[in-house]
């Protein structure tokens, strides 16, 4: 569906500057995701740290001609002669209003989904249950925010027969705008949990805010066994259909009579609206999946799915991989795995992800795509759209799998293209065996067997892996940014291989989110980043005199902490004919590690800097000794006073702006008044709050597998030196991780534990170089099961506390032989 620019102007109540004709089919809020500039309307949103108006010149050069703004650029007629500017009071409100008016155009059932957990799972499973018989438009991934919801609703078109949209809130007063945009005919509350509780005065207050989504819905869906939810629902004089479920109330519209769990499946017996007893089976046994399935069953029945089809489709439900995985592949390839479904909107997101990842090797970008089912479009039109997306997103090789793609091969206008009726045919082809040095996006429904491709293409690695959640990195970044003044810049520390997480992928993510500086320890780390396509400013915290030439060649900005280092650096720069090379001056205010004395050295330092032109101070900084502890606050105040004195004197000697920074991760939160021009984010970026040693959003999960199980009788011992004494008959598992992988030997002999299927399993005996043993007595498990060493369910701080050390040491100690696997939420 497209709208004329005149129509859009009217719909959002804007004042128009410019008189060019235009049709709008795409809306854009992130300049990095531009795909179809000719039909794009850019909303210049302002946030605490960014202003979309700053990207108008770049977007205009790239072909965007239509903008929603709060201020029209000066000289717009001369500088933007082909553009239309729609001036509004609030750009976000205009975006939401346009989506709301777009929703008004379609008289179709729309399901709105809110809740503390399970929103995405319910939405995706409803898609799987409904799409065989109707054309479904749904939120891409977790687009459930004040910006994400209007972008999702905009995807509705004339082919849509039903919409499925998430609505997420974190503050009071947020749901009303989302309700007006979604306008749900069926509104679901999945559950009520602790997420964002700190922003609400009570659980009931949060429930009331979530239930704002229920207003005006024809049908509301909720759990009547939750007393808080039932109480708040009863407060409303709701006239529509209350379609609640219960395992206690036999008169409930959906009565859950029984739940029978087996080894790998669950059967749910239910009675719907007082009818006959029915049941369905699903291939999951965890409680969260069972609850989500009840919600989906109830809504599917309400929307016309019969009980027999429900059971058949429930048995085929697939787990929701709500993430893009980045893995190293065979033969120099990198794999981006998004093979849990295939539809046009999620394809665009995945292609955008691939296109935005810098690739220093200049490798070919390849898409392997399966047929797209239940799109609601004619195949000819659908695959023309696919082709257009591929061209816009830089796809150079296209591999189509499925009978429909084979028939529509001529619609794909990519020069290098291949088509196969099945994955098996592709695997046995020369095309498959010739994949070399490519960035490959796997995008296909699981019914096509794309898991076979992943298994064959991924580089075989040690069974112990470190999973790195790039989405959590971004959440932690934004969490700390929320404490900072909008104008304050940020340095992100990625030394020590990004605290063990892998500096290249972390740097790509941070660069994509426009951090101001990256910081590494030595020049070689910076060179690695440059060679992998990182163009951000890079600071070298421990520069070596033998690496000056390297720093000049790769634009790596060194810290300078002594006169000896300064003299050597100036001399090296002058020898190379370099002038104005940026450096970062370090002051010692109490750490007594490295740095100039802010009381004794400043006059001499300023004099030396003023009498040369090889280097120029870009920033001046120092380190707090104990910003993580209130007990050091007085000393921190002394440090800041010293730093303020020395840095102010340095700035006073130069006309150009010298950035001042002293706050680290803990300081950002603890000393907001000392954030100055820039802050440095280290451990906090990787999910550990050093103020309380708690996890913010976990980034790294160390996992391995059970190699072998054996029964060991009481009285026997396990491991070297017979340290692991067995006091009762036990089941002992061997797992392929040892001290050569970074698992500290002091964790052995039952000093700590890992998790097997969610249960604690102590380390037995001495930890060996490559293997260790754990006690799994009483824990249901088998060979091949996953073991969590630390991660989402076992915080790394548990290990560091046992070792009487800091989380840094545990994270940075993970060996390079442990393969890093990256994924994006």
CA separation for the pair 627, 672 (Å, rounded): 11
For residue 299 the two structure tokens come to 């809504």
CA atoms within 13 A on the CB side of 368: 29
Find, among 474, 396, 382, 483, the residue nearest to 437 by Cα: 396
CA separation for the pair 368, 309 (Å, rounded): 31
Neighbours of 705 (CB within 10 A): 16
Q: Annotated catalytic, 599?
A: no
Catalytic residue among 495, 508, 703, 819: 495
N residues, the chain:
825
* Strand duo 717-718 + 724-725: pairing: antiparallel
CA separation for the pair 365, 360 (Å, rounded): 13
CA separation for the pair 112, 125 (Å, rounded): 14
Find, among 810, 816, 813, 754, the residue nearest to 785 by Cα: 754
> Helix or strand or coil: residue 527?
helix
Question: Is 280 in contact with 297 (CB distance < 8 Å)?
Answer: yes
Eight-state DSSP code of residue 519? E
Instruction: Write the CB contacts of 408 (distance below 8 Å, at least 6 apart in sequence).
Output: 379, 380, 382, 383
For residue 635 the two structure tokens come to 């000393």
Question: Is 457 in contact with 440 (CB distance < 8 Å)?
Answer: yes
Q: Annotated catalytic, 720?
A: yes
Find, among 789, 795, 705, the residue nearest to 755 by Cα: 789
CA separation for the pair 238, 253 (Å, rounded): 16
Find, among 331, 325, 408, the residue nearest to 369 by Cα: 408
Question: Is 83 in contact with 66 (CB distance < 8 Å)?
Answer: yes
* Strand duo 708-712 + 730-735: pairing: antiparallel
CA separation for the pair 578, 687 (Å, rounded): 40
For residue 153 the two structure tokens come to 């609703």
CA separation for the pair 766, 358 (Å, rounded): 44
Question: Is 483 in contact with 406 (CB distance < 8 Å)?
Answer: no
Catalytic residue among 218, 261, 361, 720: 720
> Helix or strand or coil: residue 229?
helix
Alpha helices in 563-632, H assignment, sequence order:
563-575, 602-610
Instruction: Write the CB contacts of 365 (distance below 8 Å, at least 6 apart in sequence).
Output: 354, 355, 394, 395, 396, 397, 438, 439, 441
Q: Is 77 exposed, middle or buried (0-12, 13-18, 19+ CB in 10 A)?
A: exposed
Active site members: 495, 720
């Amino acid at each position: 569906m497209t709208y004329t620019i005149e129509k859009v102007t009217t719909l959002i109540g804007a004042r128009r500057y410019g008189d060019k004709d235009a049709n709008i089919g795409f809306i854009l809020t992130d300049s990095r995701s531009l795909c179809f500039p000719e039909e794009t309307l850019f909303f210049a949103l302002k946030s605490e740290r960014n202003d979309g108006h700053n990207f108008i010149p770049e977007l205009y050069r790239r072909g965007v001609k239509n903008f929603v703004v709060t201020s029209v650029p000066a000289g717009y007629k001369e500088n933007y002669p082909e553009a239309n500017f729609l001036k509004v009071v609030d750009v976000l409100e205009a975006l939401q209003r346009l989506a709301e008016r777009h929703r008004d155009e379609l008289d179709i059932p729309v399901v709105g989904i809110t809740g503390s957990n399970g929103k995405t799972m319910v939405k995706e499973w409803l898609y799987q249950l409904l799409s065989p018989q109707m054309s479904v438009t749904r939120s891409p991934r977790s687009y459930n925010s004040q910006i994400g919801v209007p972008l999702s609703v905009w995807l509705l078109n004339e082919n849509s027969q039903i919409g499925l949209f998430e609505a997420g809130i974190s503050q009071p007063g947020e749901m009303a705008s989302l309700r007006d945009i979604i306008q749900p005919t069926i509104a679901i509350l999945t559950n009520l949990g602790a997420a964002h509780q700190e922003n609400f005065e009570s659980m009931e207050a949060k429930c009331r805010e979530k239930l704002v989504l229920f207003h005006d819905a024809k049908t509301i869906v909720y759990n009547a066994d939750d007393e808080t939810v039932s109480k708040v629902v009863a407060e409303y004089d709701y006239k529509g259909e209350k379609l609640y479920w219960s395992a206690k109330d036999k008169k409930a519209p959906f009565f859950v009579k029984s739940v029978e769990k087996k080894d790998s499946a669950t059967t749910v017996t239910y009675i719907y609206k007082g009818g006959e007893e029915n049941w369905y089976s699903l291939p999951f046994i965890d409680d969260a999946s069972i609850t989500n399935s009840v919600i989906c069953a109830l809504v599917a029945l309400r929307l016309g799915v019969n009980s027999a089809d429900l059971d058949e489709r429930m048995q085929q439900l697939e787990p929701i991989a709500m993430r893009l995985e980045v893995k190293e592949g065979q033969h120099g390839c990198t794999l981006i795995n998004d093979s849990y479904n295939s539809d046009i909107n999620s394809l665009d997101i995945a292609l955008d992800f691939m296109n935005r990842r810098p690739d220093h090797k200049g490798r070919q970008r390849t898409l392997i795509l399966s047929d797209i089912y239940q799109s609601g479009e004619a195949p000819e039109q659908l695959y023309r759209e696919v082709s257009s997306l591929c061209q816009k997103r830089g796809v150079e090789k296209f591999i189509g799998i499925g009978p429909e793609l084979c028939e529509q091969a001529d619609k794909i206008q990519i020069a290098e293209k291949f088509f196969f009726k099945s994955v098996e045919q592709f695997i046995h082809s020369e095309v498959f065996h010739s994949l070399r040095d490519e960035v490959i996006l796997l995008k296909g429904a699981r019914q096509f067997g794309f898991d076979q491709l992943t298994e064959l293409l991924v580089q075989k690695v040690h069974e112990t892996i470190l999973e790195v959640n790039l989405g959590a990195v971004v959440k932690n970044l934004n969490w700390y940014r929320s404490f900072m003044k909008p104008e304050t810049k940020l340095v992100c520390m990625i030394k020590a291989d990004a605290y063990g997480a892998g500096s290249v992928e972390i740097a790509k993510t941070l660069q994509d989110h426009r951090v101001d500086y990256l910081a590494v320890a030595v020049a070689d780390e910076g060179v690695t980043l440059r060679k992998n396509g990182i163009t951000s400013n890079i600071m070298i915290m421990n520069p070596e005199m033998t690496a000056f030439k390297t720093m000049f060649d790769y634009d790596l900005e060194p810290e300078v902490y002594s006169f000896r280092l300064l003299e050597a650096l100036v001399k090296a720069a002058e020898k190379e004919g370099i002038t104005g090379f940026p450096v970062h001056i370090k002051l010692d205010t109490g750490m007594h590690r490295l740095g100039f004395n802010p009381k004794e050295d400043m006059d001499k330092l300023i004099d030396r800097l003023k009498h040369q032109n090889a280097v120029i101070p870009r920033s001046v900084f120092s380190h707090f000794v104990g910003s993580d502890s209130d007990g050091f606050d007085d000393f921190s105040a002394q440090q800041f006073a010293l730093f303020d004195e020395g840095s102010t004197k340095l700035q006073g000697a130069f006309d150009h702006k010298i950035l001042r920074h002293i706050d680290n991760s803990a300081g950002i939160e603890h000393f907001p008044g000392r954030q100055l021009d820039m802050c440095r984010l280290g451990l906090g970026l990787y999910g550990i709050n050093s103020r309380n040693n708690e996890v913010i959003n976990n980034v790294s999960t160390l996992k391995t597998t059970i190699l072998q199980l054996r029964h060991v009788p009481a009285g026997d011992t396990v491991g070297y030196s017979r340290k692991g004494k067995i006091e009762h008959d036990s089941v002992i598992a061997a797992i392929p991780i040892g001290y050569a992988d970074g698992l500290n030997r002091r964790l052995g002999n039952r000093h700590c534990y890992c998790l097997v299927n969610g249960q604690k399993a102590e380390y037995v005996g001495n930890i060996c170089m490559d293997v260790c043993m754990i006690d799994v007595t009483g824990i249901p498990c088998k060979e091949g099961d996953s073991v969590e060493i630390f991660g989402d369910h076992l915080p790394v701080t548990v290990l560091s506390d046992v070792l009487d050390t800091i989380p840094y040491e545990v994270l940075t100690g993970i060996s390079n032989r442990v393969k890093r696997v990256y994924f994006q939420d």
